[in-house]
Amino acid sequence: MSKSKTFILSDETIANTYGFRIIHKGGKLERFLKNPVMLNDHINSTRTVLGRWLNARFEGTQLKAETDFDLADETVKPIAGKVERDFIKGASIGIIFDPIHLAVDEKGELVLLEWELLEASICAVPSNGNAISLFSKEGDLLTEKEVKQLCLSASTSKIKIDNKNQNNMEKLILSATTLVALGMQNADDVAGVSAAIEKLALNYSTEKSSHDATKLALKNMTEVQAKKLVEEAVLAGKITADLKDSYIELASNNFDLASKTLGAMPGKASLSNNVNNTKLTGDDPKNIDEFAAMPLEKQLAFKNEKPEAYTALFA
């Protein structure tokens, strides 16, 4: 019978070949403990099952377990023998994780904060790029290229690893698209990323303030024009005073429609207009400046009662 050996499956103080450390505080072992399968080089096949792991547990910064080889399988005996004779000493884990849990700690090191253990394998060279098996949260095996892309997209915001209160850690994920939008080429320039974000926020604030000011100015201008349009219509006798507020609201929302509607309405014809009184009096304007200085009511009266004089004034 092969003698059981204790293996270090993971050490959170050591970065894997992708450049990040796996923080054990966020590890979940429940699924693995129900089926603590020992695979050969992370090959997910019934033909590559070497046995099972016993007593999987965290000790300090390490995840450890003991071997239990299936020696009834003749194909397993050679590997079990190499392990017993100390020719094979390496093992590594296969985990599932969500990219949002990749972040940078207070030392500027890339870390994985939450993950779930699926399997652990006997490996000839644990530090080999293929010695750690990583799965997406959907359960798909990630390629080396995909893992490296996730690492490059991880946060440049430094966080403090606090095992007592991990939920309070601040994480920020910067995708490759976000870096392009910020005008950055890589996520390692912490100061550059922070400056780019601050500049983007300042530009947004400035543009928003300008937009809001323009919008308010246009609204005020429209309200003034609407009020003037309706007051002229009331003085011209096109609408009664009790309809004034309704037409101001209409003109504020759709000035063109209100202008066309009121323009098509006939005004009250005055007695002096009927007799075509065009003779100027001492109170009548002699030029455009005098006309402009007149109150709106008198301007309208002059226009309606003496149309020929009004026309001549602007000829």
**What are the helix (H) ranges across 12-158?**
30-34, 77-84, 144-152
Q: Are residues 13 and 144 in the same domain?
A: yes
Q: For the chain, what is the domain count?
A: 2
Q: Are residues 37 and 145 in the same domain?
A: yes
Q: Are residues 16 and 139 in the same domain?
A: yes
Q: Does residue 68 sit within a domain?
A: yes
Q: Are residues 18 and 166 in the same domain?
A: yes
Residue 25: domain span: 6-170
List the chain pLDDT tens, one digit each, 315 residues. 567 889 988 889 888 877 888 999 999 999 999 999 999 988 888 999 999 999 999 999 999 999 999 999 999 999 999 999 989 988 888 889 888 888 888 888 888 899 999 999 998 877 544 456 676 777 777 776 777 677 766 644 444 444 444 443 344 445 555 655 666 655 556 666 667 777 777 777 777 777 777 778 777 878 888 888 888 888 888 888 888 888 888 888 888 888 888 888 887 654 344 434 445 566 788 887 788 788 877 888 888 888 888 888 776
Q: Does residue 161 sit within a domain?
A: yes
Q: Are residues 125 and 14 in the same domain?
A: yes
- Domain termination site, one of 147, 170, 193: 170
Q: Are residues 16 and 165 in the same domain?
A: yes
**What are the helix (H) ranges across 29-143?**
30-34, 77-84
Q: List, in sequence order, every residue forming a beta bridge with 106; answer none if it has no partner.
A: none
Q: What is the CA radius of gyration of the chain?
A: 41
Cβ count within 10 A of residue 21: 19
Q: Does residue 143 sit within a domain?
A: yes
Which of 27, 46, 26 lies closest to 38 in space, CA to CA?
46
Q: Does residue 147 sit within a domain?
A: yes
Q: Residue 103: which H helix or E strand, with range?
A: strand 102-105
- Domain termination site, one of 170, 193, 225: 170
Q: Are residues 162 and 307 in the same domain?
A: no
The whole-angstrom separation of Cα 204 and Cα 108 is 29
Q: Does residue 260 sit within a domain?
A: no
Q: Does residue 279 sit within a domain?
A: yes
Q: Does residue 54 sit within a domain?
A: yes
Decide: pTM greater than 0.75: no
- Domain termination site, one of 113, 137, 170: 170
Q: Does residue 223 sit within a domain?
A: no
